Structure 1
Amino acid sequence: MARTIQILADSVANQIAAGEVVERPASVVKELVENALDARATRVEVAVDQGGRRRIRVSDDGTGMGREDALLSLDRHATSKIRTAEELRGVRSFGFRGEALPSIASVSRFTLETCARGEEVGTRIRVRGGTVLAVEDCARTPGTTVEVESLFLNAPARRKFLRSSAVETRAISEVLAPLSLAHPRVDLVLRSGERSLLEVPGTGDLVARVRALWGDEGADGLIPVEHDGEVAAVRGLVQRPDRARPGFRRVQLLVDGRPFRDAGILAAADRGYRTTIPQGTRPWIILFLEVPGGTADVNVHPTKAEVRFRVRGTVEADVEEAVRRALEREESAATLGSAPATGAMQARESAGPARRPSAGKGTESEGAGEAQIVLFGTVGATEPAPGPAEEEKGRGGASHEIDPGVADLLDGARGPRLWQVHRAWILAEVRSGLLLIDQHAAHERILFERIMERFDAGGEGGQRLLFPLTLRLTVPEVEMVQSLAGLLHRAGFEAEPFGGDTVILHSVPNPHPYFDAERAFREMIDELTHGSDLVRSARNQHERLAMSFACKAAIKAGQALDDQEIQELFDQLFATRLPWHDVHGRPTTVRLSLGELERKFGR
């Protein structure tokens, strides 16, 4: 029988490989720029004509190649990046398969000029459709220039599916963005025809690079992320909650300098925003992950756009924690105008801890202490009143102290002057202007963090009722009460099923004197049973119950507060970890700066 299986010619094999590696002009630019970065270039210039359909030219000042290496680079699976299969597990370079250059050369008119550092003469290689036409000397500076013309000249079907020049040029810009962010010390230039589309100096300033790529509006709302997790070191930038909007957003994820896509990692970053932004809001996220060798496998996709993590759950937890900590450090009060919050409100990391000045004018009266215990005591009622030593810890229910940026708002030791407005908002005169605080949202944040701390501490039951409450619920609601019995008890509710659709409440929490225990319990169990956007956003049952309880139990708009209660609400809010947002992610506070006041009055 005649042999039917044949070994393909290298030119055919390269064209097949090109189908995986080279999808469009942007793919060519990506591969060539990655090679330049691997060659330790400090400046990379990209020039395209007609969106790369006619011409792509990438020049760098990297290490360059000698003639022998230049010729080998056009052979399949010839690479300087790895030597053994073991090295694949910890590869740090962009390219390592040795497929990019031969694949590109097989479907274009291809010219490679290169000169190794220390050599006087460079090498020029001309290729057409995978066939080497000429190898010759050339005069040039150290580095490499690759010019690709007539892309897909021998693959008309692929060429037919290319988009317009404008679309292809935009795709090239998008593929350069993550590479630019990963290497902020490299000068990067992009030109289309005679136009300069991008020119960013390698200053090392990541925010400046974001501004050059996407403009001032996004860059001005970014805050730094820096966290060493259990597995991953996470660095980068995320958007302040008050700047995040629904709809389009910028997302760049990089591991060891390599751009990748991963829905799980992005979801983990979004979870870090939990309770700071409303549902449907999409903040900008730019994160760089550094993981130990062997933790990430980048060799799972021809374009290396996907990464497989060996300990995915831990990496996701590290990312979530990194974003959460960055937000805890950052002031993000909403503003009445469009100007970003600046001035006295600084990031939490700017100084050491500062204790909140007392509620009175320099000293805390006994009456003020009683107001704190009544209105903002712990969620359950069985704990004793805090003593002087406990007061030194701050008034957040745990040892969280007032962040120095917030403390700097206050006028010396007197504290701000406060007023209740329309029984719904607290107006605070502070050093930098005015704060308007939503009393319900503020109390919601206080209660949420208080009950979560109570869960962590294994809190006990609430206030025992002299006459227990008998409630009739639906069967699913009774089942929910039974399933949550332990958590409800730690939150302060002692609920006992009494047969059929009846539940008896023997004890309830007492977060403030205006608390309607029966109404709050019914609404909370209804929400937990039937679901809502709020409880669906929680990561576990503890958080679901805490969110729902805080929402239902917080003081409402329309509730009059006396001066001591207003002061305690203000103090307790700014002793929480995330004082600027309620559990729905809505702002607790709106800021009006002195500058904005003066502008509104024409000064």
Structure 2
Amino acid sequence: MPIRPLPDTLINQIAAGEVVERPASVVKELVENALDAGARRVDIDLEEGGVRLIRIRDDGGGIAADELPLAVSRHATSKIASLDDLEAVATLGFRGEALPSIASVSRFQLASRRPGDEHGASLQVDGGRVGEIAPKAHAPGTTVEVRDLFFNVPARRKFLRAERTELGHIEEWLRSLALARPDVELRVSHNGKPSRRYKAGDLDAAARLGETLGEDFARSALRIDHSGAGLRLHGWIAQPHYSRSSADQQYLYVNGRSVRDRSVAHAVKLAYQDVLFHGRQPAYVLFLELDPTRVDVNVHPAKHEVRFRDSRLIHDFVYRTLQEALAQTRAGTDVASMPGAPAAGGSPAFGSAGAIQGAATMAAWTPQPQSLGLRVDEAAGAYAALYGRAEAPPEAFAPAMPRQDATLPAGDGQVPPLGYAVAQLHGIYILAENAEGLVVVDMHAAHERIGYERLKAAHDGIGLRAQPLLVPLVLAVGERDADVAEREAPTLAELGFDVTRSGPQALSVRSVPALLAHAEPEGLLRDVLADLREHGATRRVAAARDELLSTMACHGAVRANRRLTVPEMNALLRDMEATERSGQCNHGRPTWARFSLGEMDRWFLRGR
């Protein structure tokens, strides 16, 4: 078959295969065009989940009548004019492919009017065949009407799902947009009936989050706002107790564009790994802002993905920002007391210098070191059994034990957040009374977290030491991993690995992290190289260390049916208030719960 140019209609239909996956793809492209045109209100009318009809009306700047044919021709755009523009894209759309691609697989009509024009104009396109420009009465702005999607591409149409499913995809994308653009009013109707309205205006954070993701997310959300190295990360992350079975509430925006990025997703997962129950997913709405020249948005036909110029910096920035925020989620602290928590009137957002409200007064409740009768030498012995020998002196474990405290209130008469112990229930739970009502604490889970955090702090001070191997380990790897090992030799040395390249696909390992020498350093090194190759950063060694320390803390924690005195119970409560991440045990389970007097009154129908 001879080489020949493809017809324009076929070219557009091929492009539609990349840009137009389903009705939600059409809505996305058309609404983004409306936003780029300066719209402040967008009406979306749908029929049969968008398959029969998608009509998008906006109040934006409009299109000149003589430019309508250009709008439905390929690679025609008003948004970029040079390579410099492409390298610093600030609009949602820029390729000039959406309208011709959509018009080639539907019965398409474009009508528009600029504010200064006497009347509007319209253009009909039927399956890629462009008609003539015709005058049309139209309010300032643009209307795009897409009927019978994929009517001329039956192979694509049969892959569409049920009406409810396609509508659900559209609603999910609009929910994502509403989170990013609270300044734009969105009105949605389906089969002639209003179905959704997102009002524009200065809504407070709790109202916007509740409207889109539900009140439970809004109540548990922590506000994040941190800047550094030319980057800014802001938005909301859910506390660990609010987790999901799937990643259905994970929203990331880069310079206002909703995207998926594996590096950022990995950084978020790492930040949560110490506080999230196994198999659960975090929920978040995060906005990352940076110089447009530092991110390439021209890497995916539907603009779902981006490429960062310095992905390692981005990964580390996101990880450290979220890790620090989650570290401040101490037991007894409400979301409302976190700086920047969703509240009317606004408040400063959480940043790297932020702290929990009341943290300065925690010192008033910090007791003098005493133990609950758990012997330090037992802890050191369990440590030696785990690691083969003691890597730290027994004194390093003394802080891992809960400490006693006087039961009297602080000098100012304030009641601590977790209150004061009144009883122990079934040898498992501590019951305490605070200013709001009843606090119930799982004593083993809470003690386990306290010991774990203190063991981590002790070993952070010691650092990761390297243990030389008597005989170097020769490791066969792929050529890409060998390249990474050679390039990242200083990073590997900081982690305790002395690695040199001994061949195109071979590495020579002369030392491993001393703390993990009795684990499987070969498999660990492979995982570290994979992380460095894919994400430019790794926490595999730290995670392996933390897993061992977590086991150690579990062995040293108070057990069920261990009877504690009231001073010992109060000591545990005070330590929980002062310990990072103490709202969850090492495995992500909650350590405490609170029941207000109002809740308990409702149990017994008081006041009715």
- Answer whether contact 2:331 2:581 (CA < 8 A) is retained: no
Q: Could you tell me how far 1:231 is from its partner in structure 2? A: 5.7
* 1:433 pairs with one of 432, 437, 440: 437
- Answer whether contact 1:354 1:407 (CA < 8 A) is retained: no
Matched residue of 2:171: which SS?
Answer: helix
TM-score, normalised to structure 2's length? 0.74
Distance 1:14 1:528, change over 3 A: closer
2:83 aligned residue: 85
The CA deviation string for residues 360-412 of structure 1, in whole angstroms up to 9 with x for no partner, is: xxxx9xxx7363698799995558999xxxxxxxx999xxxxxxxx9999538
1:596 aligned residue: 599
Number of matched pairs: 510
Q: Residue type of the partner of 1:32?
A: L
Cα distance in structure 2, aligned partners of 1:219 and 1:587: 19
1:40 aligned residue: 38
TM-score, normalised to structure 1's length? 0.75
Identity among equivalent positions (%) equals 39
* 1:355 pairs with one of 361, 367, 372: 361
Matched residue of 2:237: which SS?
Answer: strand
Cα distance in structure 2, aligned partners of 1:444 and 1:71: 68
Moved more, 241-250 or 440-449: 241-250
2:211 aligned residue: 212
Q: Could you tell me how far 1:555 is from its partner in structure 2? A: 2.3
Q: Could you tell me how far 1:452 is from its partner in structure 2? A: 1.8
1:128 aligned residue: 126
Q: Residue type of the partner of 1:135?
A: I
Structure 1 unaligned runs (5+)? Answer: 335-340, 387-394, 398-405, 462-485, 489-520
Q: Could you tell me how far 1:307 is from its partner in structure 2? A: 1.6
Distance 1:526 1:563, change over 3 A: farther
Q: Residue type of the partner of 1:256?
A: N
- Answer whether contact 2:92 2:257 (CA < 8 A) is retained: yes
Q: Residue type of the partner of 1:136?
A: A
Cα distance in structure 2, aligned partners of 1:529 and 1:565: 44
Matched residue of 2:266: which SS?
Answer: helix
Q: Could you tell me how far 1:310 is from its partner in structure 2? A: 2.3
Matched residue of 1:457: which SS?
Answer: helix
Q: Could you tell me how far 1:77 is from its partner in structure 2? A: 0.5
Q: Could you tell me how far 1:58 is from its partner in structure 2? A: 0.3
2:534 aligned residue: none
1:29 pairs with 2:35: no
1:307 aligned residue: 306
Cα distance in structure 2, aligned partners of 1:289 and 1:213: 20
Distance 1:308 1:345, change over 3 A: closer
Cα distance in structure 2, aligned partners of 1:8 and 1:584: 58
- Answer whether contact 1:231 1:315 (CA < 8 A) is retained: no
Cα distance in structure 2, aligned partners of 1:78 and 1:330: 51
1:224 aligned residue: 223
- Answer whether contact 2:272 2:323 (CA < 8 A) is retained: yes
Distance 1:408 1:162, change over 3 A: farther
2:572 aligned residue: 569
Q: Could you tell me how far 1:61 is from its partner in structure 2? A: 0.8
Matches within 5 A, 1:375-394: 382=395
1:469 aligned residue: none
- Answer whether contact 1:396 1:575 (CA < 8 A) is retained: no
The CA deviation string for residues 567-591 of structure 1, in whole angstroms up to 9 with x for no partner, is: 3222122111222111111112121
Q: Could you tell me how far 1:191 is from its partner in structure 2? A: 0.9
Matches within 5 A, 1:179-258: 179-205=177-203, 206-230=205-229, 232-247=231-246, 249-258=248-257
The CA deviation string for residues 540-562 of structure 1, in whole angstroms up to 9 with x for no partner, is: 34323322221222222233333
Cα distance in structure 2, aligned partners of 1:358 and 1:527: 45
2:137 aligned residue: 139
Cα distance in structure 1, aligned partners of 2:495 and 2:73: 65
Q: Could you tell me how far 1:538 is from its partner in structure 2? A: 8.0
The CA deviation string for residues 101-134 of structure 1, in whole angstroms up to 9 with x for no partner, is: 1111122221111122333322211222222222
Matched residue of 1:254: which SS?
Answer: strand
Matched residue of 1:242: which SS?
Answer: coil
- Answer whether contact 2:63 2:112 (CA < 8 A) is retained: yes
Cα distance in structure 1, aligned partners of 2:394 and 2:158: 74
Q: Could you tell me how far 1:187 is from its partner in structure 2? A: 0.4
Matched residue of 2:293: which SS?
Answer: coil
1:580 aligned residue: 583
Q: Aligned Cα RMSD in Å?
A: 4.0
Cα distance in structure 2, aligned partners of 1:408 and 1:175: 51
Q: Residue type of the partner of 1:290?
A: E
Q: Could you tell me how far 1:200 is from its partner in structure 2? A: 0.7
Structure exhibiting the larger radius of gyration computed from Cα positions: 1
1:545 pairs with 2:544: no
Cα distance in structure 1, aligned partners of 2:233 and 2:227: 6
Distance 1:216 1:537, change over 3 A: farther
Matched residue of 2:160: which SS?
Answer: coil
The CA deviation string for residues 61-97 of structure 1, in whole angstroms up to 9 with x for no partner, is: 1111212333321221111111112322221211111
Q: Residue type of the partner of 1:600?
A: W
Distance 1:23 1:425, change over 3 A: closer
1:458 aligned residue: 462
- Answer whether contact 1:371 1:565 (CA < 8 A) is retained: no
- Answer whether contact 1:373 1:385 (CA < 8 A) is retained: no
Cα distance in structure 2, aligned partners of 1:301 and 1:407: 61
Matched residue of 2:116: which SS?
Answer: coil
